[in-house]
Structure 1
Amino acid sequence: MSTVTTNVDSARQPQPARPVPKELVHKHHACQVLLKDWRRNADGTFSIPVDWHRATDSFAPLFGHISPALLVETVRQSFPLLAHVGHEVPLGHHLLWDEFRYTCTPSALRAVVQRAPQDVELHVTCTEAQYRGKRASFLAFDIDVLADGVPLAHAHSRFPVLAPAVYRRIRPDAGDGREVMARAVPLPPPLPHQPLGVAEFHDVALSPTDRPQEWLLRVDVHHPFYFDHPVDHAPGTLLLEAARQAAQELHPRLTVIPAGQQALFSRYVELDQPCTVTAEPAGEDDAGRPVAHVRMVQSGQECFRSSLTLADAQQR
């Protein structure tokens, strides 16, 4: 394996299509594609215009702010897009989230809801790339999110890229996504949705238990966003949202929005086994904002952990 660490990749750039084909962002329904186009800049970075008008049904504002789930999904769609068009990764290959983190400015997320910006864009830099031949086998990106030129958030992610045959070797028992979804654990009851800031009960990712600061992960395989297409595990976007909801549950008398989140994905969360979510306060950051640590454990093994820095959603 050869390793290249660079901000400029040398892969061939195909002519973009408008809108971005759904296959390039790993979606089945075109209405869920949030990216409009892409272009390679002279310095090797990419600029990706975003269409958030499509997102009104799936991503209602969170306590008057742009939903963190919308922010995360917008950034996530840039990963497969640039893997395919910028790094010669064939369709059908798997991107495995290893590490993901973002920071945002809550006041800017509130302003976006109030003013409906005309120009939302991602600026993406490849910070690390490893190749097997011409095809990338590992990628890392830095992503800046801007609205009408105003910075909203900065994100970073690292992920291996696996060919289908390799993926089948490491997950020999997973099988076809439809079959796995059919044997998912029965959907447990949700927490009340209003305190979590979500519009509908089907967006609740946690189920109560009789233990304090502990919940069951609630995986609705019929959810139109998280399960837009058959998959054999709980999507990473669902785990990130469940962590946010757990952090909110730690502060039932407040409404909080993540000013930052760091996450490590260590194992797949399987659909046919229950997954326990625990959260605990972890002090404050330098600005005095509370920090929460969230863990997800399945069959005695940690699958996911996240640290969230929380801002008061009522603060202007």
Structure 2
Amino acid sequence: MADHHDRADAARGEAERAQQGRLDYSSIGFITFDCLGWPVTAIPEGGGTHFIQDLTLAVSGAAGTAVIAAAKMGLSARAVGGVGDDMMGDWVLQRLGQFGVDTAAMQRRPGWRTSSSIVTTRPDGQRPALHMKGATGQFFVDDDLMPSVIDARVVHLGGVGLMDAMDRGRNAELARLAQAGGAVTTADVFAGSPDDLPAVASILPHTDYFMPSIEEAHALTGRSDLEGTAEFFLDRGVRCCVFTLGAEGAYYHHRDGTRFRVPAFQIDVRCTCGCGDAFDAGFAVALVRGMDPETAVRFAQATSALNALGLGSQAGVESFDHTWDFMLRTPHRERRAA
């Protein structure tokens, strides 16, 4: 059976033989407008005011963060999702364009509202948020749009479980067609309990790299161990699980038996918003560049760590060279005893 190296090499070869316009990365799903404040220690009572040090705007969400971070690191990238006919939608499309992201497959309809969040970032980097779901639940990739959406070396589904219209079987069909066309498929989720498993399970047989946070993976499976949680998804068709573990790093578990952990980098966290999504982007860059699995996970971890150094999703990510240099020079955290 071909291993993950063969799969990635085959996908890259297919991409090189494909039409000239094929992009590196297509990121489909949850794209949101964020307003973030830091540091927030409490919500004022009544009509009171607390003063903070920093305030920013960001395109965020599992697909939005990933596509901008990937573009910053040199991938030709496409964003696929929905925005509203509102000021937030104007800004999201403008911001994506500023990073060279292809927005031809972004959908906008009268009456839709852009998925948006108010993020109150705490001094320790945690980020309680108020979120309006908006157009993420409404956009749909129809048959006419499908060929252009899946025409990429890496096709990413970001935010499975939040895409109401797409989660009813269309995400699974998209991933199946992307694989059949030679793309490497990756997926991240928004999940809080086993009730979210049906939407996720439908894409698993067509997913090469499944990359949820460990909290989401545990919530979906009801398990608490790394290996058993990974095997749960492998048994349902995934080729490889790559779990983000927060301050404990990341865990890689492939169907071919390869498994390892990579520790987190030693940094002073400012904001954790979008860290897992930035990880997904770093992993996509590694796939396109043909990195071996352990280097790929380390590079994805470096992308996530840089994200955590800025305020707002992908703010700390600058370029491929900057991320690579950070990976080489930054020490890792000591692993806690199990």
The TM-score range, normalised by the shorter chain, is: under 0.3
Bigger fraction of residues in strand: 1
TM-score by length of 1: 0.25
Bigger fraction of residues in helix: 2
